[in-house]
Amino acid sequence: MTKRLRLTILCSAAVLAVAVTTYLVVAHGQHTHNTTAGTARAESGPLSSATVSFGAWMTTPPLDRFPNVSPPPANHHVLVPQVARIRAGGTVNFIIAGLHQVLIYDDGTKPEDINTSLIAPPPPPPLPQVPLIADPNRRIYRGPDPRVLLPVIDRVEVVHFAEPGTYLVICGVLPHFQEGMYGYVKVLP
């Protein structure tokens, strides 16, 4: 191997190392970390996370979703469990099955506090014209508009809860909320 080729390889490796290091430093700076003094951390251990099924595909009668067919009547509009428990600083993994939108309201909000007359603007046709609740009062999290995600509507959203309290979690699809599709995240100190 010639000296020139070795030098080229060495310089290329050095440039690559600098690029990777720069990327890692920049990427690290774009994430928030729980470094506030006095804030509870639940990054591991009991109650550091919980999983909530946000809707469920029914199997009676048998359901065949291939190829990418999701018939609305085959979806059960529920949150399971209805009350998820975690420690402050923990996360909840919402496993969303079907056309649903996760909306989370601050500690102490009740279902009757939600103003269901506030509706998000509809997407352009031919997307589904399903009404979505748009009440911003005490809302601390709103997931993406599921109407524009079709045909891929099953997904996972992971939400961090820093402070203790009882948070209301609802399906933002108006008819689903009206059917009782809501639950709670109980965040312990």
Q: Is the pLDDT of residue 140 over 80?
A: yes
pLDDT value, residue 152: 83
C-alpha atoms less than 13 angstroms from C-alpha of 45 in its C-beta half-sphere = 7
d(CA 119, CA 174): 8
Q: What per-residue confidence (pLDDT) applies to 44?
A: 85
Q: Are 79 and 53 in contact (CB under 8 A)?
A: yes
- In the chain, where the domains are located: 1-31, 49-188
pLDDT value of position 73: 82
Task: Summarize pLDDT for 143-182 with one digit per residue, the tens.
Answer: 999 999 888 889 999 999 999 999 999 999 999 999 999 9
CATH, domain range 49-188: 2.60.40.420
Residue 24: is its pLDDT beyond 50?
Answer: no
Q: Specify the DSSP class assigned to residue 32.
A: -
* 134-151 average pLDDT score: 95
At 5-21, the pLDDT tens digits run: 554 554 444 444 434 44
pLDDT tens profile 53-105: 999 999 999 998 887 777 778 899 999 999 999 999 999 999 999 999 999 99
Query: Which pLDDT value is given to residue 189?
Result: 95
Contact 189, 40 (CB under 8 A): yes
Query: In the predicted model, what is the mean pLDDT of the chain?
Result: 84
